[in-house]
Amino acid sequence: MVIHSVRKLSKTPAGRLIKVYEGFEGLFNCEKMMEVGEHADNHRQDGIPGGADEKEQPRVRGVAESPGETWSDTEQKIQRVLAENLQLQQTVEVERAHRTGKSSGGGDRARPIVVKLLRYKDRQSILQRAKLLKGSKIFINEDFTDAVRRKRRDLMPELRAARERGDIAYLRFDKLIVHPRNSSTPK
């Protein structure tokens, strides 16, 4: 058996996905997919979202929760929010929409909804249009791991302080980016 070529397709946290073309002295060729790496799941240990699954899941907060709500009920509520509040003209294909966290048992606070979308472009259009929800009680954010959410929460006081100083400051993933405003000094 002779290996003709090895080509790297993509990097995943679980390792590298490679395609191996195998042939027996040129008589036949077959493709074999192999996953190489030390982690079998799609999560890196440092909390960075690993697979495409996590990258395409916006988290929606502020949608009222009804007792005995099913996943299909939640999906219908999300479709209504997308059509009415975000004014999306195209149909967004939602693979699954479900609530996360413990149920409060009829409390005032509704659990957040994780929305798994079929296309990355849909996720981008939803996150770009999330600013249309300003003034409502519905919020749409990226779905980060718990470790990243803790880091972002810990960075919030520094972010607010930088903005109060007049600097341009924002969070990118789990990092605080600060660009000081240039003060014009006379020469």
The single-letter DSSP state of residue 40 is -
For residue 57, which of 138, 124, 151 has the smallest C-alpha distance? Answer: 124
pLDDT-based confidence at 104, cuts 50/70/90? confident
Q: What is the number of other CB atoms lying within 10 angstroms of the CB of residue 123?
A: 20
pLDDT-based confidence at 8, cuts 50/70/90? very low
Q: Percentage of the chain surpassing pLDDT 90?
A: 51
Interatomic CA distance for residues 111 and 108, integer angstroms: 10
For residue 113, which of 147, 46, 66, 63 has the smallest C-alpha distance? Answer: 63
**Phi/psi of residue 132, each to 5°?**
-70, -15
Query: With a threshold of 0.85, does the pTM exceed it?
Result: no
pLDDT-based confidence at 21, cuts 50/70/90? very low
Report, as an integer, the average pLDDT of 120-149: 92
**Domain ranges within the chain, ordered by starting residue:** 2-36, 52-142, 146-179
CA atoms within 13 A on the CB side of 172: 5
List, in order, residues 6 or more apart from 44 with CB less than 8 Å away: 13, 50
41 pLDDT more than 90: no
76 pLDDT more than 50: yes
User: Are residues 1 and 22 in contact, defined by beta-carbon separation less than 8 angstroms?
Assistant: yes
Q: pLDDT at position 134, please?
A: 92
Interatomic CA distance for residues 145 and 173, integer angstroms: 10
The CATH code of the domain at 52-142 is 3.30.70.1820
